[in-house]
Amino acid sequence: MSAGDFRAEILATALALDAAGLVPNKSGNVSARTDRGFLLTPAALPYRDTTPADLVEIATDGTVLDGTRRPSSEWRMHAAIYLARPDVQAIVHTHSPHATALACAGRGLPPFHYMIALAGGDVRCAPYATFGSGELAASAVTGLEGRRATLLANHGVIAVGRNVQAARAVAFEVENLAGQYLALLAAGLEPNLLDEAELARVLVKFADYGR
């Protein structure tokens, strides 16, 4: 599919994340796989000032294929995920407040609510590595194994999906669940967790969720 087919979707998602406060100070990025590589939001440009032409198409080795802007510093993380996960067609990276708070404590999300199935199960917190580095890219791939979301320690959130809308839905739901989980912890409560059998049943039901 051509890069142009995704530009409007990527930009609409970036603007929605910004409006919801999930990417404060332009602290996130959105991408979609293309035939040649992937299309990614540019570095340092506020989303409200970004146009479809500002998006950058790059190969997984970092070669710029189309665009005049500098790609997001996290291009290595997007590239590594696309290389490791043929099922992933889009990636959303946020610094959403509640989920990032958990990530800064090195704590993931346990299966305390059935909606965690949207992420493919419990959401791990992947080990810390410097932003933009190959080490962070590798950590993100490990955190995403068998999942559609992972927290990045002392950093933020990665959500993936079969298209831009699906990845966006996962990112929003992870932030929602993180807020609920933090509320429980703040009240001194420990959540009741879904057992493995129930989580497996829910995952089956979610196989066609949102289609």
Query: How much is the CA Rg of the chain, to the nearest whole Å?
Result: 16
Of these residues, 74, 173, 175, 190, which one is catalytic? Answer: 74
Q: Which residues are 40's β-sheet partners?
A: 31, 56
CB-CB neighbours of 187 under 10 Å: 8
Helix count and strand count (H, E) for the chain: 6, 8
Active site residue 74: yes
Token pair in block for residue 61: 């080795």
Best CA proximity match to 50, nearest among 91, 18, 3 = 18
Calpha distance 119→203 (Å, rounded): 9
Token pair in block for residue 164: 């831009």
Contact of 149 with 170, CB cutoff 8 Å: yes
Token pair in block for residue 98: 């509640």
Helices (H), the chain: 4-19, 75-84, 97-104, 134-143, 164-186, 196-205
* Residues with catalytic function: 74
